[in-house]
């Protein structure tokens, strides 16, 4: 895209234009501008040159249904712009219009520049929050950009993977690509880098077919972090719900990030990899009543934000960030829904993970599963058809809502994370819940008519320890964040295996390696949808920092030069086993009943065994000290049909889990389950060891803190 020609004032004709769509829409002959404000008395559109100089300020000529609009024939892609909204300024009444504050278009499809955190961005004078500041903010503001909407998608189409067949990889655009030696330096850390063949080949080798990108909506770097020499690395501070962030673009042109993002999606789709966006619709970067006036606050504060009923100068804060979006207002809801549809229809993304999604359900004070937002998503013919993943909690009252989202939704299963961590660090009384998490968390999802895929299983996410750090540290080490190690979660359910941090102790390091393999095996062979956090497959460390939200540096980036290639190979092996065997990817919950229909073998679809080979009794399940269990998965008991309507069958498996600190002798099930078993995965063995066969009823030694996976050689064997 080339830089837009700067229009002269004499060339600027202004036509009435249209009230829809909102935002700046280029149609090949000019650009329509439309912005909603119910409280505005006048709205000016301001145009800027490449140096940030204001070259024109035009009053939008029409207003329909509180949407101010106009069409300018000579405005082309690349043009920078912003709004000035005239209206009442009365913070106590929730009104914060101030035409001296240049405002970003809420529907910006691209944003150019960065914030210069000076007094002019704030509508009050520092030290006196009840005062009014009328310094002009234009010079300190980034600018919205008119984009070229046209792109050659070729034959692009969504991969459309079923949830049950999906392996998600949570990644940060920069953190994933910044240090990779095979990516050209000029594109590292960008959308183009994510699309580079070395990244795509790595993902495909892992069996990943969906990448979940941490926030790429344009976000603001917090002034408090900048003052400390840090930055908002994670990006959970959105200020542009339709704009891909220019910080991840290698393009020098204003608006070029849009084309680069689309090219990334196209390349990933060609490789069969879906693109899921981590989106932040619960709050914005404008913060609380002491925050800056950047966009929504100055356009229509009360329409876009939840205000305190008895004193509207203050904001309801269910997010811990200062404000919460007002999902009870139709135009706030429209902004969210228009954004979602835009990313699906124009940017071709395949799904969304909603940050602090419980906030979106708050119409009043309680979390309402049937709030207006979820009703809109349910009936929307576009948004309802993509992957919808909730982070099912926020910081407000009753905010932990795991298992309570509508049937159409999947959820980050925090209980899976906590239970699996507790099991492998040897906590007592976790065996029964571990079994539930391993089999899809029916206790959380079955009552709402959902299936195992409602559970997005994860042990590690961006927020917390990496997998390597989970087995290397008992305590967080966040001193680099400048908060005296007071930030971040203190209860990590981690275990350092006998030494805090790096050590030369060979036994400790061997145990740490085995524990990482245990977590990877458990995650990938659990029912539900597995999510791998980027770099966990290669031993990424953050040196014990469990809250790198402000660390845009080597501490948070993947170090590709020190990758643990053995761990990568192991992860690929387990992922390939999952992909090859539908018994690990069931679409329905286990029943525990004998399989007699449709040519079944009369055995239960699942069975649990104590180490002595007997089926688990109530007493066994209630034994708080038990840490070892075997589970039989019947490949003849899968109640799923393939695309041709044929019954899905598979080999049968026995998985032995031993979280005890000593080896355990297990007795294999009797011959009716299988005559012969062969080792597929042993987290305690060297990768080059020859697979061993076992006969029915044989004694099998499972090493301390390890997983052993055996496959049937006879029932439906290979």
* Spatial contact of 522 and 420, defined as CB atoms under 8 Å apart: yes
Mean pLDDT, residues 234-244 = 98
Q: Does residue 717 carry a pLDDT above 50?
A: no
Q: What is the C-alpha separation between 475 and 461, in angstroms, rounded?
A: 17
* Model pLDDT for residues 657-677, shown as the tens digit of each residue: 999 999 999 999 998 899 999
**pLDDT at position 397, please?**
79
Q: Does residue 668 belong to any structural domain of this protein?
A: yes
Question: What amino acid positions are annotated as catalytic residues?
Answer: 355, 391
| pLDDT at residue 348 greater than cutoff 60 | yes
Give me the pLDDT at residue 1, please: 42
> Which whole number is the average pLDDT over 489-509?
97
Instruction: Give the pLDDT confidence score for residue 607 in this predicted structure.
Output: 96
Radius of gyration of the chain (CA): 27
Residue labelled with tokens 């106009």: 70
Question: How far apart are alpha carbons 455 and 448 in whole angstroms?
Answer: 13
Q: CA-to-CA distance for 103 and 462, rounded, in angstroms?
A: 32
Predicted pLDDT of residue 333: 95
Establish if 652 belongs to a structural domain.
Answer: yes
- Which of residues 552 and 646 earns the better pLDDT score? 552
Q: Is 153 helix (H, G, I), strand (E, B) or coil?
A: coil
Position 332 in a domain:
no
CB 461 within 8 A of CB 598: no
Other C-beta atoms within 10 Å of 165: how many? 16
H or E element, residue 89 = strand 89-90
pLDDT attached to residue 716: 46
Q: What are phi and psi of 531, to 5 degrees?
A: -125, 120
Peptide bond preceding 424 in cis form (omega within 30 of 0): no
Give the residue among 354, 371, 382, 380 at the shortest CA–CA distance from 283: 354
Residue span of the structural domain in which 668 resides:
590-712
- pLDDT of res. 448: 86
Average pLDDT, rounded, for the chain: 94
Give percent above pLDDT 70 in the chain.
95
Segment 33-55 shows an average pLDDT of: 97
- CA-to-CA separations, 229 to 116, 477, 480, 639, in angstroms, rounded: 14, 19, 11, 56
| DSSP structure class, residue 198 | H
pLDDT confidence of residue 398: 79
As a whole number, mean pLDDT of residues 367-393 equals: 88
Report residue 374 as tokens: 């979820």
The tens digit of pLDDT for each residue in 458-483 reads: 999 999 999 999 999 999 999 999 99
Residue 426 counted as domain residue: no
Is the per-residue pLDDT at 389 higher than 50?
Answer: yes
CB 517 within 8 A of CB 569: no
Q: pLDDT class for 393, splitting at 50, 70, 90?
A: confident
pLDDT digits (tens, 9 = 90+) for 60-85: 999 999 999 999 999 999 999 999 99
Whether residue 649 has pLDDT greater than 70: yes
pLDDT of residue 368: 65
- Domain count for the chain, please give it: 1
Q: How long a stretch of residues is the chain?
A: 718
Q: pLDDT digit string (tens) for 287-312?
A: 999 999 999 999 999 999 999 999 99
Q: How confident is the model at residue 367 (pLDDT cuts 50, 70, 90)?
A: low
H-assigned helices in 281-413? 296-304, 330-345, 372-379
User: CA 644 → CA 321, 586, 647, distances in Å?
Assistant: 50, 17, 9
- Comparing CA positions, the residue from 539, 627, 575, 534 lying closest to residue 173 is 534
Quickly count helices (H) and strands (E) in the chain.
15, 29
Burial of 155 (0-12, 13-18, 19+ CB in 10 A): exposed
Q: Reduced to 3 states, what is the DSSP secondary structure of residue 615?
A: strand
- Is 408 part of any domain? no
pLDDT of residue 366: 64
Greater confidence (623 vs 180) lies with: 180
Q: What is the pLDDT of residues 396-449, one digit of tens each?
A: 777 788 988 988 899 999 999 999 999 999 998 789 999 999 999 999 999 989
For residues 490 and 492, give the distance between their C-alpha atoms in angstroms, rounded to a whole number: 6
Residue 66 placed within a domain = no
**What pTM did the predictor assign?**
0.96
What is d(CA 459, CA 370) in angstroms, rounded to the nearest whole number? 29
Long-range Cβ contacts of 397-402 (<8 Å, 24+ apart): 397/365, 397/366, 398/366, 398/367, 399/318, 399/358, 399/359, 399/367, 400/358, 401/358, 401/361, 401/367, 401/369, 402/444
Q: What is the pLDDT of residue 597?
A: 58
| Distance in angstroms (rounded) separating the CA atoms of residues 293 and 553 | 29
Residue 244 resides in a domain: no
Q: pLDDT, tens digit, for every residue of 576-616?
A: 999 999 999 999 999 998 886 555 668 999 999 999 999 99
Is residue 641 domain-resident? yes
Annotate 405-469 with DSSP letters as a single string: S-TT-EEE-HHHHHHHHHHHTT-SS-HHHHHHHHTT-HHHHGGGT--GGGEEE-S--SSS--HHH
Q: What CATH number should be reported for the domain holding residue 595?
A: 2.60.40.1180
């Amino acid at each position: 895209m080339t830089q837009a020609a700067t229009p002269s004032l004499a060339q600027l004709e202004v036509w009435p234009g249209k009230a829809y769509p909102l935002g700046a829409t280029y149609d090949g002959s000019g650009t329509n501008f439309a912005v909603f404000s119910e409280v505005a008395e006048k709205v000016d559109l301001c145009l800027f040159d490449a140096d940030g100089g204001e070259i024109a300020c035009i009053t939008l000529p029409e207003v329909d249904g509180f949407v101010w609009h106009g069409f300018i024939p000579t405005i082309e892609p690349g043009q920078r712009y912003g709004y000035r909204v005239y209206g009442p300024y009365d913070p106590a009444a929730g009104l914060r219009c101030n035409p001296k504050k240049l405002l970003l278009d809420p529907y910006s499809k691209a944003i150019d520049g960065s914030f210069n955190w000076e007094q002019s961005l704030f509508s009050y004078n520092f030290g006196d929050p009840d005062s009014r500041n009328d310094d002009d903010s234009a010079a300190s503001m980034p600018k919205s950009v008119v984009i070229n909407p046209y792109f050659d998608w070729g034959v692009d189409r969504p991969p459309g993977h079923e949830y049950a067949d999906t392996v998600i990889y949570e990644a940060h655009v920069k953190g994933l690509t910044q240090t990779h030696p095979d990516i050209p330096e000029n594109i590292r850390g960008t959308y183009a880098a994510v699309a580079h063949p070395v990244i795509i080949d790595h993902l495909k080798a892992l069996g990943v077919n969906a990448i979940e990108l941490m926030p790429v909506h344009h976000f603001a770097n917090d002034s408090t972090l900048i003052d400390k020499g840090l930055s908002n690395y994670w990006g959970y501070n959105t200020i542009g719900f339709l704009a891909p962030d220019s910080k991840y673009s290698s393009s020098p042109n204003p608006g070029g990030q849009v084309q680069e993002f689309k090219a990334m999606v196209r390349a990933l789709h060609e490789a069969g990899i879906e693109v899921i966006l981590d989106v932040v619709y619960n709050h914005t970067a404008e913060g609380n009543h002491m925050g800056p006036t950047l966009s929504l606050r100055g356009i229509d504060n009360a329409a876009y934000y939840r205000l305190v009923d008895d004193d509207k100068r203050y904001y309801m804060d269910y997010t811990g960030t200062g404000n919460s979006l007002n999902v009870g207002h139709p135009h706030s809801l429209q902004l969210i829904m228009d954004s979602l549809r835009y990313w699906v229809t124009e940017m071709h993304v395949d799904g969304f993970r909603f940050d602090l999604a419980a906030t979106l359900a708050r119409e009043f004070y309680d979390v309402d599963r049937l709030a207006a937002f979820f009703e809109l998503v349910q009936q929307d013919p576009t948004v309802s058809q993509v992957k919808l993943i909730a982070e099912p909690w926020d910081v407000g009252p009753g905010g932990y809502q795991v298992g309570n989202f509508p049937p159409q939704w999947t959820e980050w299963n925090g209980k899976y994370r906590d239970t699996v961590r507790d099991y492998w660090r040897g906590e007592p009384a976790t065996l029964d819940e571990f079994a539930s998490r391993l089999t899809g968390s029916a206790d959380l999802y079955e009552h709402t008519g959902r299936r195992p895929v409602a559970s997005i299983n994860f042990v590690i996410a961006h927020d917390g320890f990496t997998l390597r750090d989970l087995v290397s540290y008992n305590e967080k080490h966040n001193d680099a964040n400048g908060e005296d190690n007071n930030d971040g979660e203190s209860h990590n359910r981690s275990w350092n295996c006998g030494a805090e941090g790096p050590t030369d102790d060979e036994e400790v390091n061997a145990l740490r390696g085995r524990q990482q393999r245990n977590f990877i095996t458990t995650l990938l062979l659990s029912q539900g949808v597995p999510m791998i956090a980027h770099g966990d497959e290669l031993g990424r460390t953050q040196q014990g920092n469990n809250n790198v939200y402000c660390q845009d540096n080597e501490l948070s980036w993947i170090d590709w030069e020190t990758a643990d290639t053995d761990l990568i190979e192991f992860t690929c092996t387990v992922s390939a086993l999952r992909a090859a065997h539908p018994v690990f990817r069931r679409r329905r919950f286990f029943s525990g009943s004998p399989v007699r229909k449709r040519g079944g073998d009369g055995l239960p679809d699942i069975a649990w065994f104590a180490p002595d080979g007997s089926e688990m009794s109530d007493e066994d399940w209630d034994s708080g000290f038990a840490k070892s269990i075997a589970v039989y998965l019947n490949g003849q008991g899968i109640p799923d049909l393939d695309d041709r309507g044929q019954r899905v069958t598979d080999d049968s498996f026995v998985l032995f889990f031993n979280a005890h600190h000593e080896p355990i002798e297990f007795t294999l099930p009797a011959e009716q389950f299988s005559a012969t078993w062969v080792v597929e995965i042993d987290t305690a063995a060297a990768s080059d060891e020859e697979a061993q066969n076992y006969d029915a009823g044989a004694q099998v030694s499972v090493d301390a803190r390890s997983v052993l996976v055996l496959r049937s050689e006879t029932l439906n064997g290979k």
